[in-house]
Amino acid sequence: MVLARNNIFFGPGNVTNQGSVMLDHNFTSMSGDPKLVDAANFDYHLSAGSPCVDMGIAPGKGDGVDLTPLAHYVHPATFEGRMTVGTIDIGAYEYSP
């Protein structure tokens, strides 16, 4: 079984066509606008007022390894640390004003 948790699925198309996928605490285009900063220019940070802020769930463990994200991607090819503020946010980035 595959578990897809705390993701933003934005744009046209289906999330998956596999029956064995368990979807948990995700946000889809059908839920509305996730209020990303600038998706057209690859900035997927959450804006103020995003419905994804503090709406995730602890990712848990996989094979005994904590799956809580410690970093997030910065376009075009680097990363920055990710600290959870309150409840983890849905999406690749933790909201930070």
> Domain-by-domain residue ranges, the chain?
2-81
**What are the structure tokens assigned to 26, written together?**
């995700």
CA 53, chain centre distance (Å)? 10
Task: Label residue 95 by pLDDT band (50, 70, 90).
Answer: very high
Residues with Cβ within 8 Å of residue 57, at least 6 apart in sequence: 5, 6, 24, 25, 87, 88
Check residue 45 and give its pLDDT: 92
Share of the chain above pLDDT 70, in %: 100
For residues 6 and 83, the model is more confident at 6
pTM assigned to the model: 0.84
Work out whether the CA dihedral 22, 39, 95, 93 comes out positive or negative: positive
What's the mean pLDDT in 61-74? 89
Residue 58's alpha-carbon distances to 10, 27, 66, in angstroms, are 21, 15, 10
What's the mean pLDDT in 19-47? 91
